[in-house]
Structure 1
Amino acid sequence: MKIAVMGAGAVGCYYGGMLARAGHDVVLIGRAQHVEAINRDGLRFTKYDVEERIELAASTEASASQDAKLVLFCVKSTDTERAAAELQRHLLADAVLLTLQNGVDNADRLRARLPHEIAAAVVYVATEMAGPGHVRHHGRGELVIEPFPSAAEIAQTLIDAGIPTEISDNVRGALWAKLILNCAYNAMSAIAQLPYGELVKCEGVNEVMRDVVAECVAVAQADGVTVPGDIDAAVRRIAETMPNQYSSTAQDVARRKRSEIDHLNGYVTRRGEARGIATPANRVLHTLVKAIEFGQPA
């Protein structure tokens, strides 16, 4: 299968690398610094402290997605519409797009712009770009995808590549569960520039997390969303299972890049306003991250 990865950052390079290792024809579409390194040296892939080089194609142009049967859509939520416009004229009519993004509404935003089969996925993986063309895996790696006509085939392709994949009828709820985890950790990790394990040791952090989670759950319920599992236990488990991980928002802030905070705590704040639910903890975290971004030189 030819597979294109639109947005070859940490998530895109990890899943693209796993699929290429399994023998698929994978092309990574990303920024010049990563593309140049990958085309020159292969993808530097560090997993469980074992490093290898994976040979695969890389391009800065969306046209590289031509002939791809599957597109892993991994751009930042802030870039969803732009990336959709770039892909539109190059995609096969029967191409499937799987959104591997933070936030809960990216698949709907894509469906408003592309006539293709589009399915949402929930991503549970800790990765980072450790340098140009170098992805480092810190833990986990499973996906939860929503049902669609070829879901079973795509899921099996992912499973065969070593990517645990589940098809769920409640992906909306799972996306909200992931959003709540992100809202609890991302902004505070960014503000403090601390990994999760150190962050939760700080005075008052766990209490703020509880406030954030309670607001998120109230908004989700008002939106008719059933959030699966024990969300409080899931929040605690993040620091236990990924103690050395910095949030993606923390990584963006450290690199002076625009973060996805508008689609995390900012999204909850907007939905709360629409539903008449106060979200002061989420509002403060959203505002503080925006203030940090505003104060950084370009």
Structure 2
Amino acid sequence: MRYIIIGAGAVGGSIGGRLAEAGHDVVLVARGAHLEALRQHGLRLLTPDGDLRLSIPAVSGPEELTEHGGLRTDDVLILCVKSQDTAAVLRQWASLPVTGGGGTASELIPVVCAQNGVENEREALRLFQNVYGLCVWLPSLHMEPGVVAAHCAPQSGILTVGRYPDGVDDRIKQIGHDLAGSRFDAPVVDDVMRWKYGKLLNNLGNAFEAVAGVSGKPSGDLSGDEELADRLVEAAEEEGRRALSAAGIPFVGPGERRAVQGNRMNVAEIPGAPRGGGSSWQSLARGAGSIETDYLSGEIVLIGRTHGVPTPVNALMQRLTAQFVAEGREPGSLPVAELAELVDRAQKSEG
């Protein structure tokens, strides 16, 4: 198989880099200064084990893939762009002919959605016949062109995979096998969306981290701000659990996730590459011009509205992160106490 990583940022760069390191055929899809750095210097993948320099072909999109022989029948598209970009990106690839395949990408090429949120697989299935989900547990950072840091050891992450909407087939078994041989745990399951809905609940903290710099996922002794943030995030997660339960949507709980994770994926320091924040925080820090909250907090809001469950905290976080993007505000610049007042006001107005 050849793995085409669409969106070679923090997650895509980590997955593509580890696959290439293990000897798999990989093409990275990127843009702007990051693409130029990949072309000139290769991918620099920083890990707790060392500083890797990987020479991996990099293209700007499907039109440049012709330089590498075009699409092949053994290709796999691994989608790592943010959810707000999914539909437009997939349309670029769907109609591409597959060399020797007698059809187009939409008919013949599998798409693996290695993204937060739960809408990407549904978007992909509108265009592609064979779609797979990948639940991403992969703390990583991309702030500098050509450089990605993957902060966990001994495994870089846990990538739970399965066919969408459910099931397992030989193709996803092979993909799981390749990932498992590339410094990841990659359980192959027949209910991958249950894992992705569980991750969705966990990702509700992303918006809090983006605007106030605290994610509500503390360890050890708590500061006052961390304890307050923990309560705020818990309120958002409780809304999420109520909304999913009202909709009859199953989801993995934190206990089941911890049992799978064990000690195989622990965040470790990388000299010269501080951990920073998660994906939403990074979008604000890079000035990306958009943020994925509509597909995280906003997903819970949508489900809640559909099933009559109030979700004022998540609706507030959806609005706040959009405001941060529009105003170009720095991540973490809203005091936690001020955020708590806004949450309290939102809950009271809903009640």
TM score, norm. by length of structure 2: 0.77
Amino acid at match of 2:158: E
Amino acid at match of 2:42: G
Closer, same or farther in 2 for the Cα pair 1:204/1:231, shift >3 Å? Answer: farther
CA distance in 2, matches of 1:124, 1:17: 16
Closer, same or farther in 2 for the Cα pair 1:263/1:95, shift >3 Å? Answer: same
CA distance in 2, matches of 1:264, 1:242: 23
**Residue of 95, 108, 114 corresponding to 1:89:** 95
Amino acid at match of 2:144: G
Aligned residue in 1 for 2:196: 175
**Residue of 245, 254, 273 corresponding to 1:230:** 254
TM-superposed CA distance for 1:216, in Å, is 0.5
Aligned residue in 1 for 2:240: 216
Closer, same or farther in 2 for the Cα pair 1:96/1:106, shift >3 Å? Answer: same
**Residue of 245, 256, 259 corresponding to 2:291:** 259
TM-superposed CA distance for 1:83, in Å, is 0.6
State percent identity of aligned pairs: 26
Task: Assess if the C-alpha contact under 8 Å between 1:211 and 1:281 holds in 2.
Answer: yes
Q: Secondary structure at the match of 1:267?
A: helix
Equivalences for residues 170-209 of structure 1 within 5 A: 170-183=191-204, 185-194=205-214, 197=218, 201=223, 202=225, 203-209=227-233
Query: What do the CA deviations read for 1:133-170 (whole angstroms, capped 9, x no partner)?
Result: 10111124111111342221221111122221011222
Amino acid at match of 2:160: V
Closer, same or farther in 2 for the Cα pair 1:280/1:241, shift >3 Å? Answer: farther
Aligned residue in 2 for 1:66: 71
Equivalences for residues 95-244 of structure 1 within 5 A: 95-115=109-129, 117-139=130-152, 140-146=156-162, 147-149=167-169, 150-183=171-204, 185-194=205-214, 197=218, 201=223, 202=225, 203-230=227-254, 244=275
Number of corresponding residues: 291
TM-superposed CA distance for 1:129, in Å, is 1.1
TM-superposed CA distance for 1:94, in Å, is 2.9
CA distance in 2, matches of 1:284, 1:256: 21
- Which of 1 and 2 has greater Rg? 2
TM score, norm. by length of structure 1: 0.90
CA distance in 2, matches of 1:132, 1:39: 11
TM-superposed CA distance for 1:264, in Å, is 0.6
Task: Assess if the C-alpha contact under 8 Å between 1:119 and 1:148 holds in 2.
Answer: no
Q: Which moved more, 1:83-92 or 1:34-43?
A: 83-92
Task: Assess if the C-alpha contact under 8 Å between 1:126 and 1:245 holds in 2.
Answer: no
Task: Assess if the C-alpha contact under 8 Å between 1:138 and 1:245 holds in 2.
Answer: no
**Residue of 278, 281, 295 corresponding to 1:247:** 278
Output the aligned Cα RMSD. Answer: 2.4
Closer, same or farther in 2 for the Cα pair 1:266/1:254, shift >3 Å? Answer: same
Q: Which runs of 5+ in 1 are unaligned?
A: none
Aligned residue in 1 for 2:328: 296
Closer, same or farther in 2 for the Cα pair 1:45/1:233, shift >3 Å? Answer: closer
Q: Secondary structure at the match of 2:184?
A: coil
Task: Assess if the C-alpha contact under 8 Å between 1:6 and 1:74 holds in 2.
Answer: yes
TM-superposed CA distance for 1:49, in Å, is 5.4
TM-superposed CA distance for 1:245, in Å, is 4.5
Aligned residue in 1 for 2:12: 12
